[in-house]
């Protein structure tokens, strides 16, 4: 069994070494043009040349949760694209969202500003009931985030393409219920996959539908947000602010106005990083299952794009 590793913007050698240790009976190689045909591939944002040179792959394993970069490629029919189920990412996402939510709700950003000015000012506590948190996307990551937020006793809502049931979460499903979800939400958390249907879904219309004083926590993909719509909504007072981890262009250009806006917090696509040990264990297990003819979780539906 041959496994090809093709990782853009990621050092491949540690992955090759760890995969070889996890699958000692396999031949694991770092991809370069002309590499012999492989049975499986472990990738991150592979070029079209890699796909074209490997037309007989059984499965392509993505080392991140989002597969939008792969789905843009011309893929051979029958190739299974497999995304991570979790591999340590959901707890990181939950940490990030809870931190951003509580920082906004408790006005710690205001306290930080006043502390730098040497000001000792008490702020009246706010009511959690006035800050319903709406989570767009209720897959493995979204469900974990919803459960974490619920522990802090905020009202939690969720919206997904198909119906989901999560204890303590008021759920909405389908395009017809998106409006109902938005008008009931004050803090909006985006965890949707990026597809043709969701590109640009965070825009002037949808963000204006949030409850007054709405706040955006955006940690999915840069393509979801129509960036030029955000600052006017904040400056007009329609939105209270935003915490943004993903952008149309990454790294975010130094001249971009998001860096300097006082009500926007920017982080460098750091809400959840791939944990190599957990990821390799998951991929090795799935390769073993495929080789034994067993079903696996995480296979992407090409029609849906995730």
What's the pLDDT at 9?
A: 83
Tell me which of 2.40.50.140, 3.30.70.1560, 3.40.1360.10, 3.40.50.720 is the CATH number of domain 89-266. 3.40.50.720
Cα–Cα distance measured from residue 250 to residue 260, given in angstroms and rounded to the nearest whole number: 17
Q: What CA–CA distances, in Å, run from 191 to 47, 69, 78, 102, 261?
A: 25, 16, 28, 18, 23
**Fold matches, 2-87+274-291 and 89-266:** yes
| Residue positions annotated with a catalytic role | 221, 269
Side-chain-facing half-sphere of 15: CA atoms under 13 Å: 26
Domain boundaries, the chain: 2-87+274-291, 89-266
Helices 108-116, 89-105: axis angle to 10 degrees equals: 60
Identify the CA nearest to 52 among candidates 72, 76, 31, 69: 76
What's the pLDDT at 129?
A: 98
CB neighbour list of residue 144: distance below 8 Å, 6 or more residues apart: 86, 90, 91, 93, 94
Rounded to the nearest 5°, which phi and psi values hold at 262?
Answer: -65, -15
CB atoms within 10 A of CB 244: 24
What's the pLDDT at 85?
A: 84
> Any idea what DSSP says for residue 128?
G
Considering only the top CATH level, what class is 2-87+274-291? alpha beta
| DSSP β-bridge partners for residue 27 | 2
| DSSP β-bridge partners for residue 171 | 158
Element (H, E) at 160: strand 156-160
Tokens coding 29: 């190689």
CB neighbour list of residue 82: distance below 8 Å, 6 or more residues apart: 59, 60, 61, 62, 283, 286, 296, 298, 299, 300
Strands 214-218 and 156-160: unpaired
Below-50 pLDDT ranges, the chain: none
What's the pLDDT at 65?
A: 79
Cα–Cα distance measured from residue 111 to residue 104, given in angstroms and rounded to the nearest whole number: 11
What's the pLDDT at 64?
A: 85
Order of all β-strands in the sheet with 59-62: 27-30, 2-7, 40-44, 59-62, 80-82
Rg for the chain, CA atoms, rounded: 21
């Amino acid at each position: 069994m041959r496994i090809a590793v093709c990782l853009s913007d990621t050092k491949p050698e540690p992955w090759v070494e760890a995969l070889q240790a996890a699958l000692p009976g396999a031949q694991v190689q770092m991809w370069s043009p002309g590499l012999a045909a492989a049975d499986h591939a472990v990738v991150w944002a592979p070029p079209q040349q890699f796909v074209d040179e490997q037309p007989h792959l059984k499965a392509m394993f993505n080392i991140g949760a989002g597969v939008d970069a792969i789905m843009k490629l011309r893929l051979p029919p029958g190739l299974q694209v497999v995304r991570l189920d979790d591999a340590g990412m959901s707890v990181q996402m939950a940490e990030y969202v809870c931190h951003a939510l509580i920082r906004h709700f408790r006005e710690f950003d205001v306290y930080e500003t006043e502390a730098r000015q040497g000001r000792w000012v008490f702020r009246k506590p706010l009511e959690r009931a006035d800050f319903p948190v709406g989570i767009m996307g209720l897959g493995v990551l979204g469900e974990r985030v919803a459960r974490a937020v619920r522990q802090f006793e905020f009202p939690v809502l969720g919206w997904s393409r198909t119906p989901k049931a999560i204890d303590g979460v008021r759920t909405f499903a389908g395009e017809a219920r998106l409006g109902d979800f938005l008008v009931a939400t004050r803090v909006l958390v985006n965890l949707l996959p990026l597809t043709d249907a969701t590109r640009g879904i965070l825009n002037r219309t949808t963000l204006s539908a949030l409850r007054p004083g709405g706040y955006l926590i955006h940690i999915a993909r840069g393509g979801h947000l129509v960036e030029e719509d955000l600052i006017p909504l904040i400056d007009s007072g329609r939105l209270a602010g935003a915490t943004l981890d993903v952008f149309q262009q990454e790294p975010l250009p130094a001249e971009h106005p998001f860096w300097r806006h006082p009500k926007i917090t920017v982080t460098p696509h750091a809400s959840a990083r791939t944990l190599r040990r957990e990821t390799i264990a998951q991929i090795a297990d799935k390769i073993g299952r495929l080789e034994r003819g067993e079903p696996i979780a995480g296979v992407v539906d090409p029609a849906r794009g995730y």
